[in-house]
A and B are shown apart, each in its own frame.
Chain A
Amino acid sequence: MELRLENISKHYGSKRALQSVSLSVSEGIYALLGPNGAGKTTMMHLITDVLTPTGGRILYNSQPIETLGTSYREKIGFLPQEPGFYPHFSGEKMLRYFACLKGVSDEKTVCEALLHQTNLWDCRKRKVGGYSGGMKRRLGIAIALLGNPEILVLDEPTAGLDPKERIRFRNLIHQISKNRIVIYSTHIISDISSIADRIILLKNGMVECVKTPDELCSMLSGKVWEAIVPTEQSDTLLSHHCVTGFTTKGNRSCFRIISDQKPVPDATEVSANLEDVYLYYFGGDSHDAI
């Protein structure tokens, strides 16, 4: 099971959303990380064949997806960034409608199992218009899972969910990720730090790197520092260094800083996490992240 992007580019008029992206993914969870406008959604739309690339091609098991057509689409489960539903349909009807569209045989049994799995069984008869954000996301993932797809593409699935729903959702993704390719785009780094097998860093329409979380963190070895300084020095540190976090206790503040050199004499080196990696790579573009 291999999905390969070969020299993919996508232009919207003069705007270049993706430029010469080459990538190969196989079974496992791939987190797609990048600031707004990096081209994450475009890449997902290209993978799901919603958009056609301006250049390059996408291959699934060495076959171009445009020639595979229907047989490729039946292997895909897609949850877009803001999934829409028919508000007058009940949750169950919505699921069965998609089961029909995906050509799922024995749709009744499959839908019932998915409603149980996504914890929507009790509210299956309720109109989708009355569902909460979390319930809609769960319904979205149930739809994406219909037909047991080999490729699961999830575009910011946890956006707007409360922490409890986010954790539940993360666990669900982890459960269902066996024997399939899961491509998961998010801004919330804590969602992927524990479940992602590999992280794809996307910046200005180009892939920066594809590595495991540990590999990425180790790349920042010797570049992440913790410094405790008097509160009055805070402004100087904030303006001169990339600060990923700070806490204040009395008149002293503890800063977490990314820097090639020791930022202050008393700073101690600490191990990097994915948030540090994100800020290191995306720097000033990433104000909306984390």
Chain B
Amino acid sequence: MASLVGSRVERKEDKRFLTGKGRYTADINLVNQTYAIFVRSPHARASIKKINIDKALKSPGVVSILTGKEIADDKIGGLIAGWAIRSEDGTEMKCPGNPPLAKDNVNFVGDPVAVVIAESLAEAKEAAEKVEVDYKVLKAVTSTADAMNGDTIHEGIDKNLCFDWLLGDRQKVKEAFDKADKVISIDIINNRLIPNAMEPRACVADYNAASEEITLYTTSQNPHLSRLIMSAFGNVAPEHKLRVVAPDVGGGFGSKINVYNEDIVCSWAAKKINRAIKWVAERSESFLTDIHGRDHVTHAELAVTKDGKFLGFKNETIANLGAYARVFGTVTPTYLFGPCATGVYEIPAAYTNVKAVYTNTAPVDAYRGAGRPEATYTIERLVEKASMELGIDKTELRIKNFPTAFPFKQTLVHTVDSGDYVAGMEKAKQMADYKGFEARRKESEAKGKLRGIGVTSYFEACGIAPSAAVMSLGCGVGLWESAEVRFNPTGQVTVYTGSHSHGQSHQTTFAQIAADELGVPIENIDIVHGDTDKGTFGMGTYGSRSLAVGGIAIVNACKKIVEKGKRVTAKMLEANPEDVEFKDGEFIVSKSNKKKTIGEVAFACYLPGVRDEMKSPLPEGDEPGLKETSFYDPSNFSFPAGTHIAEVEIDPETGHVKLEKYTACDDFGRIINPMVVEGQVHGGLAQGIGQALYENAEYDETGQLMTGSYMDYTMPRADNFPEFNIGYTCTHATTNPLGVKGCGEAGAIAAPPTVMNAVIDALGGQEVTMPATAEKVWKACKNLKKSNAKAA
């Protein structure tokens, strides 16, 4: 039987999605359901003096109106940060309370203060307009760079500082810098982004008074984790009385990891009013209240010798957490950022210092790449600048500092098991026709255009693990993954995974893996996920962990099935279990022609009695049935890497940046389904290029979101991109049996510095902040013209 792993198997989920048969949360309608509308703060920072709901209560169709007071009276807990970070001075991070409905203070525009529940959506909306909230408006803090000098947002949190964290050794870095021939320094901003999943957030909460169970359908990337948080911290219901279902989910990019206010409020309120409640975000609510991403201000320095060897690296960053610290809010700018900031280079001494600050803006949390795009942008902008200042070719300078052997003990934390960075660089250069650039630059020049080329070599650390390590660094949960493999008596297989697909194609790639492991046709395998009632506890999908962690759990559970199958076969065929081999779905007694198919073995496992010729096939000690579970805890992260090269052409008269060519050469280890991986790379690139050239979340000084709709927030479109030139080098991961590495975030990690390095190259080295909009580039072109005129 040919292996399915590695082939372009068509996506099993596409029939459903392409024919409009997907079932998203907003598609779910329950009998007698009510509709919720949230009353949200129009102010970035205010104290709530009084809420008057009298008029709203009299509005037609209103069922109930609940505020922060009721939620506090019922002792419902708030939203939490999932990772405890310690400051350099040893103190614990400082987190404010974040009640699901604000009671005393609001801290960003969109912070919910009340929920209006009515018989229809229109009635809920109308009544919500009649809720009178008397605010005392306070001065907002909105700037990342100046947040520490602003008014104190949360009582007791001095300088709005959550933590002041250090990774690395300042003294060693100082010594390295003392020895340097040259210090390259850079000041950069990693712009704030809004994730913009295609499906807005939504939830439907239901309460069964007889069984006292709450069922919550919600747009989540991790239903079990949501249940745990809502139960343990939200006090909504004990875990066994709370079922969380995340059905088809239309994109997450990290924005649907968090348990949100609406999940807790609707679940709690459904029990209170003993009716189902439905809430679906409007797009403007998504802009305001989904977690945002990035938002760093960084000063970084690289100490180098004159021939281009890197000696030391400093990274001083202020990271904006927004109004509250959320699930991955505190780990994103620390352990997901700092360790990767030294990039793919051997740098003997390094440190990263991060001051995480609160501001009166939407909470900032993990967004595709989470910390690693910020890290890669820092080091790769710095290395590009070093190449300009040292006059060393940008690819040569990188190669000169690549590790020479694997495992590569990276400066700060990671031991990278596998990779071949030089091979990736060489292949990328060839794919991009790096040599031919100068000729293309001259052609552009002849047309009055500026052409630039930019390079990024990156590695990233995804599939965060092992649990023992992450928990010692402050993680509130273990980051393993579970899988259950169940045979039906008639031979089909159901695989439950604790990870979640919201676009990642689990139904296809996981079925490919199980089909190869079990020798069962792929059409006889169903992948099930997203429902806490349907399988064992799982950790969900984020940080490119589904395959490298969840996929391995499936492999391990399949291996257990095969082990049992061997014992059962041995009993059935009166052989020794050690003599039974398994291949392509058949158990074969070696050196004989005796064999059983896995289907026959499964059937026998479910019918272990004695009748006619059939005798109990179960060996002593084995139970009936054929179902195995695995909880897989990896031994390390997985470390994808690669080199990307971009070419841009700039029209100096309009400042328009045209991305002419984009080459991505990635190492994702073994590839299960090349088509799915291409999709992931394209999507990641679109978001990364979006950050570099188009997207920006902007608040004014009063904390109003200026880019709260698609009229002002630039989502990239297909016509903004060239045809991507994609290739791979494949060095298999040595830390998992499939040899796989994550691929979901690479594009978003590598693209911003690649594109910006090209833009800045075209502009003769002038710094431009992201996004490189037409006006910024136009101004830089004018400066370039002036300085060229002076030089002439």
Instruction: Judge: A and B partners, yes or no.
Output: no
Instruction: Tell me the A residues contacting B by CB distance below 8 Å.
Output: none
Chain B residues close to A by CB (< 8 Å): none
